[in-house]
């Protein structure tokens, strides 16, 4: 049994590989974009949370001072 590929079979396999590779790269890029968006979103939430914490700390401090 001859296990070698014909030129046409090799071209078909190469095209299939190239297509699968391009699809994988597209999917990887899509997931990377989603990841980057979530990182940005979490940074914004962290910043907002820090601002709220500071604001609440100031209000508590001000309330404690006025009660003394």
C-alpha torsion angle, residues 46, 50, 55, 60 (rounded to 10):
120
Residue whose pair of structure tokens reads 């990887």 in the numeric block: 28
* pTM (global) more than 0.75: no
Q: What is the pLDDT of residue 44?
A: 98
Is 5:13 a contact under the CB 8 Å cutoff? yes
Question: Which residues, 6 or more positions from 13, have their beta carbon under 8 angstroms from its beta carbon?
Answer: 5
H or E element at residue 47: helix 7-67
pLDDT > 60? residue 55: yes
């Amino acid at each position: 049994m001859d296990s070698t590929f014909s030129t046409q079979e090799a071209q078909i396999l190469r095209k299939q590989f190239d297509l699968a590779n391009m699809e994988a790269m597209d999917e990887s890029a899509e997931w990377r974009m989603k990841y980057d968006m979530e990182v940005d979103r979490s940074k914004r939430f962290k910043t907002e949370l820090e601002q709220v914490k500071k604001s609440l700390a100031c209000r508590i401090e001000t309330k404690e001072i006025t009660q003394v």
